[in-house]
Amino acid sequence: MTSHNMTSNNGLAGTTLKINLTTAEICKEPTDKELFRKWYGGRGVVSKLLYDNVPRDADPLGPENWFIVTVGVMSGCFSPAGSKIEFGSVSPLTNGHGDSNMGGHLGPMLKFAGYDMIIFTGISPKPVYLYIDNDTVEIRDAAEYWGMGSLDCEEKFKKNLGEDFEIATVGPSAENGVLFSCITHDFGRQAGRTGQGAVMASKKLKALAVRGNKGIKVHDLAALTKRNTDVILRTQNHPNMEPWQKYGTAFFIKWSNDNGVMPTRNFSTTHFDEIEKIDGDQLVDNCLISDKACFGCWMNCGKYSKAVVPGKPEVRVEGPEYETGSLCGPNIGMNDINHVAYVNWMMDNLGMDTMSGGGVVAFAMECFERGYITEEQLEGHTLKWGSIDDVEHFLDMVVHRRGIGDWFANGTKRASEKIGRGSEKFAMQVMGQEMSGYDGRWAPGMLLSYMTADIGAHHNRSWTITVDIAEGREEIAGRAPIVVYLQHIRPLFDVWCICRLFWGELDITPDETVDAFNDITGWGVTMEEALRTSEMIWNLNRCHYLERNKADGRTFDYPPARSWEDKIPSGPGKGKGVTKEQVEQMLDEYYAARGWDAKGNPTRELLEDLDMGFALEKLEKAGFVGKPLDGGIPAVRGEKYKPKAF
Amino acid sequence: MRIRVHKDNCTGCRLCLQICGISHYNEINPAKAALRIDAKFPNPGKYRPYVCTQCGKCEEACPEGAITQNNIGAFIVDKEKCTNCGACVTACPMDVVFQHPDLDHVIICDFCMKCTQLCNTAAIVEWEPKVKAATEA
């Protein structure tokens, strides 16, 4: 580890804002460089601050929860796709550490205005938004914006303040406390997962509006400039560039279906017969208006689209990207790309995560099909697979928490508790967070990733699906250490606050990214140290979860029973599936690979090895330190796997 | 030497703005770039780059004689002579003469072409008028 280079600002803007929304007090402080040095920024700093500062019994939607907005050191700098902004708070959906990030331009703009982080506490007595124009920071009245759709609201802010402001908003979904509400920016970028929008709105904070024109000082600008210029020039003609620019992530719709992992009709099967009506080609041919890139990215995967549905207004939306396209496509039986795009727009403008939203609608549709919820409960409407009118009405009930809409506004897990009748078997979530757009029954590594992700059933912590396909899809043994490795390396991008898509697609290695990180910070970090930091973050979030939820970790790590009770009934994966014993085996292997005990709790030896005495002490008080392992913890947790995709 | 704009190709990534600020002011700051990108969303839902067209209105407007055209066609600002009065900013029909609070002179494109090198969608491309047909093809 090298010492800090005091002549640069290590890529940081230099100032942190602490804002108490109850008292409207705004405090500007120098950014805590030691904190950023140790936890690298982004997701790392968020994890540490939430762990240290939010009382374990605090209501996630109450005044004691912190709502953190931070940029990390690489975002805004001339680094590969350095565009991200990270939001963090204790999640109302999972009741554990929550964080979610998005690209676009807001993160860099916050840094150009001079800020690395904003920490919100308290609850404003009335709706407000935060206005930042360089050194001017004001809490402003948001009465005229409250109640507006996320996208409509952004348009109005741009009109009122100027096109050069970058805006983040929440929608009516968040205002009404729908637990899977998102934060929206740039007319289609979302921090979607863990209900960060619900927390933001619980503080009566409708929006952030930011403009800045300051420069960022980095450790070695010449080296950074050369490195990133070389990377861009080297990859401009990469064979994956053209399909990526053409389709974005929608490329994977057909791929996923062909490989028998497409969630279809609430994960009942993994193959959609009408995929050619909603795939990437349909998106490009029927909906595309323009290609959109995040700040500093030369891959432009964003597809700005229009949705034309007879009898409804023509609307514009960014997407549908893969996750939305699958979970609001086959998973709810949509067989028309314009309808998928329209559902995408509805959820975006209402301000709900399209992933959880798609999961919730799909779960409700299956409940309706089974007669567990009735037309009477749906105010005289049906809720049939593929019906856009039914979805529109159902979402209106959810967003306004009307009737049984109130159950579903709390996500599939809580809704299934209300509905009963064994519906938890097909409430497709882990820890309260709805599954991403891959069925894990014929992709056991992916299933294990959902089971063990620190924020519930989310794909991006370890996108193991390509490992499954490459290494053998019925193979269970040996998957766990790879999942652990991916859970360390992939979240590093969320720590750095840059995109990770260029990694797999353009063969730009994480090692090169560490080099760029060092150009910016001068901290001389090695990949080994970076992975260790990521492991610390992972374990810290686990401790946080155990301390809040007061039960052994293993009790939270099971997928819904559909994952092992039902074999895949159709398509390329017909007859495939895992058994309950295999699920248990994967958990055993996973805990062993992590240095956790069989109950899924981190051991003393591990936390000491990671220099996390501060967490050990709290975990011990809570009574969830794992039992010592026979033979001790593995010297290295996780097993390096050369990813074949991002 | 000029820059040709294919406006529909722009994806709004701002790599051009970043490299421009870095190349000329040694700092990461898109607000010190010599070109700009308009983002119009949700309607029409497109980006559009604006660059210097070498029309010479800035030179005409300058009361100090601080702006002169060089041999590649760029209008170069004499930082000693420039008083930052803003006459050229007003005169520029494309709004691509810029001022920044850190600087005591205006910013005008010098056609170093760092931006066109990085543009991955050919939204801005290097262009010699005499080989116009070839570039368009």
CA distance B100 to chain A (A): 8
**Residues of chain A positioned with their CB less than 8 A from the CB of B27:** 215-217, 221
Neighbouring residues of A210: CB distance < 8 A, sequence distance ≥ 6:
A106, A109, A110, A113, A132, A133, A165, A166, A167
Contact of B49 with chain A, judged by CB distance below 8 Å, is answered with no
Q: Read off the tokens for A288.
A: 């595309």
B64 CA to chain A: closest CA distance, Å? 27
Contacts of A299 in chain B (CB under 8 A): 120
Which strand (E) or helix (H) includes residue B126?
strand B124-127
Is A493 within 8 Å of A79 (Cβ atoms)? no
- Residue labelled with tokens 């007319």: A187
Q: What is the mean pLDDT of the segment spanning A208-221?
A: 96
Quick check: B39 and A163 CB within 8 A?
Answer: yes
- Contact in structure between B114 and A233 (CB atoms under 8 Å): no
E strand or H helix that includes residue B77 = strand B75-77
- Going by C-alpha positions, the residue among A102, A46, A123 that lies closest to residue A348 is A102
Nearest CA in chain B to A103: B13
Query: A6: pLDDT confidence band, cut at 50, 70 and 90?
Result: very low
pLDDT at A643: 55
Quick check: B120 and A217 CB within 8 A?
no
* Partners of residue B21 in chain A, C-beta under 8 Å: 215
Burial class (CB in 10 A: 0-12, 13-18, 19+), A375: exposed
Name the 3-class secondary structure at A179: coil
Contact criterion met (CB < 8 Å) for A229 and B19: yes
Q: What is the DSSP secondary structure assignment for residue A6, as one 8-state letter?
A: T
Q: Could B25 and A215 be called an inter-chain contact, meaning their C-beta atoms sit closer than 8 Å?
A: yes
| pLDDT of A2 strictly over 50 | no
- Measured between beta carbons, the chain B residues lying within 8 angstroms of A236 are 120
- Interchain pair A232, B21: CB under 8 A: no
Check: CB of residue A98 under 8 Å from CB of residue A179.
no
Using the beta-carbon criterion (under 8 Å), do B45 and A221 form an inter-chain contact? Answer: no
CA A334, CA A328: separation in Å to the nearest integer?
A: 7
Q: List chain A residues with CB under 8 Å of B14.
A: 105, 295-296
| Dihedral-angle region of residue B7 (phi above 0 means left; psi in -120 to 50 means alpha; beta otherwise) | alpha
B15 touches chain A (CB under 8 A): yes
Q: Look at residue A646 and tell me whether its pLDDT is greater than 70.
A: no
Mutate to test the interface with B, among A71, A133, A219, A225 (most CBs of B within 10 A): A225
Nearest to B13 among A155, A186, A295 (CB): A295
Could you give the CA distance from residue A332 to residue A540 in angstroms, rounded to a whole number? 36
On whether any CB of chain A is under 8 Å from the CB of B45, the answer is yes
Return the CATH fold of A241-433. Answer: 1.10.569
How far A168 CA sits from the closest chain B CA (Å)?
A: 14
Instruction: Identify the three-state secondary structure at position A415.
Output: helix
**Chain A contact for B90 (CB, 8 A cutoff):** no
**CB contacts < 8 A (A, B):** 102
Q: Which residue has the tokens 């040095």?
A: A37
Provide CATH code, domain B2-130.
Answer: 3.30.70.20
Of the partner residues B11, B27, B38, the one whose CB lies closest to the CB of residue A293: B11
B101 Cβ under 8 Å from any chain A Cβ: yes
3-state secondary structure (DSSP) of residue B124: strand
pLDDT, tens digit (0-9, with 9 covering 90-100), for A374-406: 999 999 999 999 999 999 999 999 999 999 999
Altogether, the residues listed in chain A come to a count of: 646
Q: Which ranges of chain B have pLDDT less than 70?
A: 131-137
Q: How many residues does chain B have?
A: 137
With a pLDDT cut of 90, the percent of chain A lying above it is 92
**Smallest CA–CA distance from A298 into chain B, residue:** B120
The answer to whether the Cβ–Cβ distance between A155 and B42 falls below 8 Å is yes
Given an 8 Å threshold on Cβ–Cβ distance, is B28 in contact with A245?
no
Closest residue to A215, CB basis, from B27, B41, B42: B27
Residue identified by tokens 């660059």 is: B51
The pLDDT value given to residue A414:
98
Relative orientation angle of helices A411-419 and A354-369, to the nearest 10 degrees: 20
When pLDDT is cut at 50, 70 and 90, the band that residue A159 belongs to is: very high
Domain A438-622 listed as CATH 3.50.50.100: no
Report d(CA A445, CA A430) in Å as an integer. Answer: 15
Residue of B nearest to A74 (CA): B28
DSSP annotation string for A416-441:
HHHH-TTGGGG--EETTEEP-S---T
Q: How close, in Å, is residue A249 to chain B by CA atoms? A: 16
Residues of chain B found within 8 Å of residue A14, distances taken between Cβ atoms: none
Domain ranges of chain B: 2-130
Q: Say what the pLDDT of residue B137 is.
A: 39
SS (H, E, C) B30-41: HHHCCCEEEEEC
Q: What is the pLDDT of residue A470?
A: 86
Please report the pLDDT score of residue A502 as a whole number.
86
Beta bridge partners of A29: A16
Residue range A588-603: average pLDDT?
98
- pLDDT score for B130: 72
User: CB-based contact (8 Å) between B19 and chain A?
Assistant: yes
Interface residue of A164, A167, A187, A300 to substitute, partner B, most B CBs within 10 Å: A300
Three-state DSSP class for A535? helix
Query: What pLDDT score does A641 carry?
Result: 80
Contacts of the segment B71-80: beta carbons below 8 A, 24+ positions apart: B72/B1, B72/B111, B73/B1, B73/B2, B73/B111, B74/B1, B74/B108, B74/B109, B74/B110, B74/B111, B75/B108, B75/B109, B76/B108, B76/B110, B77/B105, B77/B106, B77/B107, B77/B108, B79/B104, B79/B105
What is the CATH architecture assignment of A15-211?
4-Layer Sandwich (3.60)
What pLDDT, on a 0 to 100 scale, did the predictor assign at position A374?
98
| Amino acid present at A314 | E
**How far is CA A65 from each of CA A20, A51, A68, A323, B48, rounded to the nearest angstrom?**
11, 11, 10, 29, 41
DSSP character at residue A283: I
Type of residue numbered B20: C
Give the tens place of pLDDT for each residue, A615-629.
999 999 999 999 999
Distance between the two ends of chain A, CA-based, in angstroms? 29
Q: Note the Cα A591 to chain centre separation in Å.
A: 23
pLDDT confidence bin for A287, thresholds 50/70/90: very high
Q: Does B95 touch chain A (CB under 8 A)?
A: no
**Do the Cβ atoms of A74 and A101 come closer than 8 Å?**
no
Going by their DSSP bridges, the two strands A128-133 and A205-211 should be labelled as parallel
Mean pLDDT of A91-100: 97
Over residues A141-167, mean pLDDT = 98
* Inter-chain CB proximity B100 and A112 less than 8 Å: no
How far apart CA A248 and CA A302 sit, in angstroms, is: 6
- Closest residue in B to A299 (Cα) is B120
What is the token pair recorded at A40?
Answer: 């690298």
Which pTM does this prediction carry?
0.96
Q: Which residues of A146-157 are buried (b: 16+ CB within 10 A; e: fewer)?
A: bebbbbebbbbb
pLDDT digits (tens, 9 = 90+) for A220-279: 999 999 999 999 999 999 999 999 999 999 999 999 999 999 999 999 999 999 999 999
Distance CA A419, CA A125 (A): 35
Q: What is the pLDDT of residues A319-378, one digit of tens each?
A: 999 999 999 999 999 999 999 999 999 999 999 999 999 999 999 999 999 999 999 999
Which chain A residues touch B if contact means CB-CB below 8 Å? Answer: 76-78, 105, 112, 151, 155, 163, 186-187, 212-218, 221, 225, 229, 232-233, 236, 241, 245, 289-300, 302, 304, 306, 316
Residue of A298, A344, A499 to mutate, testing the B interface (most B Cβ within 10 Å of its Cβ): A298
A316/B42 Cβ within 8 A = yes
Mean predicted lDDT score pLDDT of chain A: 95
Smallest Cβ–Cβ distance between A293 and the set B13, B29, B45 belongs to B13
Report the candidate in B117, B101, B83, B81 with the shortest Cα–Cα distance to residue B29. Answer: B101
Q: What is the pLDDT of residue A475?
A: 84
pLDDT of residue A642: 67
Nearest CB neighbour to B13, from listed A112, A221, A296: A296
Q: At B10, which amino acid appears?
A: C
Q: Which tens digit of pLDDT belongs to each residue from A548-560?
A: 999 999 999 999 9
pLDDT at A8: 64
- Is pLDDT above 80 for A217? yes
Q: Give ipTM to 2 decimals.
A: 0.94
Taking residue A34's Cβ as centre, other Cβ atoms within 10 Å add up to: 9
- For residue A244, which of A499, A70, A510, A55 has the smallest C-alpha distance? A499
B27 interfaces chain A, CB cutoff of 8 Å: yes
Q: Does B122 touch chain A (CB under 8 A)?
A: no
Cβ separation B14–A105 shorter than 8 A: yes
Tokens 């992916």, located at residue: A446
Shortest CB distance from B28 goes to which of A78, A291, A304? A78
CA distance B23 to A367: 60
Using a CB–CB cutoff of 8 Å, tell me whether B7 touches chain A.
no
Phi, psi of B50 (to 5 degrees): -125, 130
A213·B118 Cβ contact <8 A: no
Determine how many CB atoms are found less than 10 A away from the CB of residue A17.
Answer: 22
Give one DSSP letter per residue of A366-399, joined into a string. HHHHTTSS-TTTTTT----TT-HHHHHHHHHHHH
How distant is the Cα of A212 from the closest Cα of chain B, in angstroms?
A: 8
For residue A5, what pLDDT is reported? 39
Contact status, residue A110 vs residue A189, Cβ threshold 8 Å: no
Q: Which residues of B touch A232 (CB under 8 A)?
A: 15, 118, 120
Q: Give yes or no for a contact between A250 and A243, defined as CB atoms under 8 angstroms apart.
A: no
Instruction: Report the gap between the CA of A216 and the closest CA in chain B (Å).
Output: 5
